[in-house]
């Protein structure tokens, strides 16, 4: 049977897109194609589980608009469908006077983005929220929270499939090629061909490769960055109440190592950010010749390396040294010791990297014939997923005249 729409990629953005499309078009048959044996098995299932507020994103950008709208939708969705979550708030703390101007900048950004209830804190007020943090001041963000993103992803797909009996989820199904026909496309997979009139690609770490298979002449490449986490041991869990973030360095494209209480009660510390030699590799020594060749023969990778040389070296040293990782954590909580942390899991982030090494900070969606491609959806895409899904559903209506 031919489907009306195929969504490729079963992370939370793909799941939210399926859900929003199926709610908007209950009569259309939609197939969600995912190469793994379960949903949310890469970026979604390995992220820090944070519902982001929208504090860091340029006012008016897709990131800012979708994060704030998506956060509100996600919390409402979690409440309605019993997804584990907690809007517990977070503190962003400065530990050095050099960080104060940038802390002021993100505070003003937060105000411009209309983030509810944010306020500046003195060092003493920070301690009211997080008694073990030593800082020179901070920002309290009450609308930040934590959630089980994997559970949310599964629920979105479950709800979508209940709307139309002709819609399907196909796991363990890897897309190998795309062939354009006159009025539809044939998606070639390891489990046979799937025909659909319209395609939506939400392929995360493989977004650039699938875009090329679909005929997009893409100059940029996706480059993966692994983030390693530590966990607090039972003896140290009392030192973190909710979420503690540093002031992010404006010269570095990541938020910095932070403390996160998870929905299962564990406290994670991390992640760092190191170039990974395998896009879907979660071990420190994982290696793929194809992924490494792709990244290291691309000039954008080297431009990024040279722009961030000292950061990159420090991140690598920290990846292999518990002592150096601890030292970073002690900037915010000096009382932590080596016995307070133990190695945890890892995640991989996909960055669509421009040829000049720019990390393509905003979300990026492109159109190609009867296809829509989500080419860049880094953090806060999980928080923004329902808003992104809604945006794509509107774009489907416009571009495909449904």
**pLDDT given for residue 193 in this prediction:** 97
Is the Cα dihedral 241, 245, 246, 247 positive or negative? negative
Which residues are CB-neighbours of 36 under 8 A, at least 6 positions away? 10, 42, 171, 172
Instruction: Read off the pLDDT of each residue in 184-202 and give the average, rounded to a whole number.
Output: 98
The predicted model gives 206-219 an average pLDDT of 96
pLDDT above 80: residue 367:
yes
Burial 58-78 (b: 16+ CB within 10 A, else e): eeeebbbbbbbbbbebbbebb
The pLDDT, as a whole number, for residue 220 is 94
Chain mean pLDDT for the chain: 95
pLDDT of 54 > 70? The answer is yes
- Asked if 274 contacts 315 with a C-beta cutoff of 8 angstroms, the reply is yes
Tokens of 61: 């950008």
Whether 255 shows a pLDDT value over 90: the answer reads no
Distances (CA, A) of 1 to 30, 168, 328: 11, 11, 55
**Tokens encoding 1:** 């049977």
Asked whether the predicted pLDDT for residue 233 surpasses 70, the reply is yes
**Tens of pLDDT, residues 343-366:** 999 999 999 999 999 886 689 999
Paired strand residues for 146: 50, 86
- For residue 78, what pLDDT is reported? 98
Return the closest-CA partner of residue 181 out of 198, 166, 169.
198
**What is the DSSP pairing of strand 30-33 with strand 168-170?**
parallel
Provide the percentage of residues in the chain whose pLDDT is more than 70: 99
Is the predicted pLDDT of residue 35 greater than 70, yes or no?
Answer: yes
pLDDT, tens digit, 9 for 90 and up, residues 112-155: 999 999 999 999 999 999 999 999 999 999 999 999 999 999 99
Domains and CATH numbers, the chain: 3-45+150-220+361-400 (3.50.50.60), 222-232+264-359 (no CATH)
Q: Is the pLDDT reported for residue 253 higher than 70?
A: no
pLDDT at 327: 95
For residues 190 and 248, the model is more confident at 190
Token pair listed for 69: 């709208």
pLDDT band at 313 (very low <50, low <70, confident <90, very high): confident
């Amino acid at each position: 049977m031919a489907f009306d729409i195929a969504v490729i990629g079963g992370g939370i953005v793909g799941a939210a897109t399926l859900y929003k499309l199926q709610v908007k078009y209950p009569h259309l048959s939609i197939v969600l194609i995912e190469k793994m044996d379960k949903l949310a098995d890469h970026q979604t299932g390995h992220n820090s589980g944070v519902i982001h507020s929208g504090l860091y994103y340029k006012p008016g950008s897709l990131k800012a608009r979708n994060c704030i709208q998506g956060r509100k939708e996600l919390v409402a969705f979690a409440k309605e469908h019993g997804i584990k979550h907690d809007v517990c708030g977070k503190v962003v703390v400065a530990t050095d006077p050099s960080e104060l101007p940038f802390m002021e900048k993100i505070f003003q950004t937060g105000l411009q983005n209309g983030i509810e209830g944010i306020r500046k804190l003195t060092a003493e007020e920070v301690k009211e929220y997080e008694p073990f943090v030593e800082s020179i001041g901070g920002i309290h963000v009450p609308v930040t929270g934590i959630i089980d993103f994997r559970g949310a992803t599964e629920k979105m797909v479950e709800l979508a499939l209940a709307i139309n009996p002709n819609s399907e989820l196909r796991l363990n199904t890897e897309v190998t090629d795309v062939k354009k026909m006159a009025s539809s496309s044939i998606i070639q997979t390891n489990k046979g061909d799937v025909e659909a009139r319209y395609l939506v690609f939400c392929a995360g770490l493989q977004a650039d490769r699938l875009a090329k298979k679909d005929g997009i002449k893409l100059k940029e490449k996706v480059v993966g960055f692994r983030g390693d986490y530590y966990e607090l041991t039972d003896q140290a869990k009392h030192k973190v109440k909710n979420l503690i973030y540093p002031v992010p360095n404006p010269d570095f494209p990541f938020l910095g190592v932070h403390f996160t209480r998870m929905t299962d009660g564990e406290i994670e510390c991390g992640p760092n950010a190191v170039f990974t030699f395998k896009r879907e590799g979660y071990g420190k020594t994982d290696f793929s010749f194809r992924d490494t060749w792709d990244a290291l023969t691309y000039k954008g990778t080297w431009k990024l390396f040279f722009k961030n040389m000292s950061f990159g070296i420090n991140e690598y040293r920290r990846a292999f040294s518990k002592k150096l990782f601890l030292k970073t954590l002690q900037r915010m909580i000096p009382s932590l010791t080596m016995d307070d942390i133990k190695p945890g899991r890892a995640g991989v982030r996909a960055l669509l990297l421009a040829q000049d090494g720019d990390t393509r900070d905003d979300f990026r969606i492109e159109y190609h014939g009867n296809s829509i491609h989500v080419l860049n959806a880094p953090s806060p895409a999980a928080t923004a997923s329902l808003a992104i899904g809604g945006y794509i559903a509107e774009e489907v209506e416009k571009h495909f005249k449904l």
